[in-house]
Structure 1
């Protein structure tokens, strides 16, 4: 909508260090991928999104969906991760993802978009 209305910049300063606890990353991991690799941890001011026990589980698909859907990240959409590549969601080290293998399909295909959208062209 902002693009259609000609909005070029944000009026308020952008802070990239705080998770707003929107739950988008948790929902895509749980509902779309059925992985449950991340979730909410803690209560009150200590509440945050993390891996179980702070360790990336083997069942994490490393799809990058959590990073792509995070409204607080400035990580650009660079396509599927390559072996050894690292991506960081905002400045939260608990969401550092390191790819072990090539992801052969578009992260967004499962969400209804294919490569034809030009996202990875």
Structure 2
């Protein structure tokens, strides 16, 4: 039996992927998933900065250097936990403010630049 190339395997699975994802979305638990992730949207820039800083501080040699110690599975599990904590933080923050701190900083910077250009 001849071995299939990766490109051949991927091409053959395309027709089944939409049906699989559509069948998952019909379940009520999966219909609530987009709503649970909705608070991430207005705070994407803040989360990107936070994930970068947390990842460097935890996993790289200039921080605690835990990446090689725990391996890829440990990094993946901790990344999922960090993202879950960010979802909780996003809900808390967006109850009090309209945008995330990163978005506000960029908007203020743009307004200052526009005011300086107009003057």
TM class by shorter chain equals under 0.3
More strand by share: 1
Structure having the higher Rg? 2
More helix by share: 2
TM-score by length of 2: 0.21
